[in-house]
């Protein structure tokens, strides 16, 4: 288990070098689940961040956007 934790920490520490900004990291310890809020310019950067830790378990990546910015953009288009 310590080696898995070390691999996870190493991956997160590489984020800045890859060009990924970690905005938040939240853990559900009893559920063995970690949630990351990240910002990246490309899908490749996200893949580079997660590639070393995919073997640790299931990974689900969902792209999201700032709701308020989206609403502002829609108002501008009207």
pLDDT per residue over 12-33, tens digit each? 999 999 999 999 999 999 998 9
Q: Provide mean pLDDT across the span 36-60.
A: 93
Work out the end-to-end distance of the chain between its first and last CA atoms, rounded to an integer number of angstroms: 54
User: What pLDDT does residue 56 have?
Assistant: 87
* The two structure tokens encoding residue 66: 């700032």
Q: Are strands 33-39 and 21-28 parallel, antiparallel or unpaired?
A: antiparallel
* The two structure tokens encoding residue 64: 């999201």
User: What pLDDT does residue 2 have?
Assistant: 86
Task: Give the number of other Cβ atoms within 10 Å of residue 8's Cβ.
Answer: 15
CA distance 54 to 71: 34
Spell out the domains of the chain, with CATH numbers in brackets. 2-77 (3.30.70)
């Amino acid at each position: 288990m310590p080696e898995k934790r070390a691999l996870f920490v190493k991956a997160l520490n590489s984020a800045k070098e890859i060009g990924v900004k970690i905005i938040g990291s939240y853990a559900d310890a009893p559920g063995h689940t970690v949630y990351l809020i990240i910002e990246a310019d490309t899908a490749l950067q996200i893949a580079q961040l997660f590639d070393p830790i995919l073997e640790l378990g299931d990974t689900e990546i969902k792209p999201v956007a700032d709701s308020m910015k989206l609403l502002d953009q829609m108002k501008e288009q009207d």
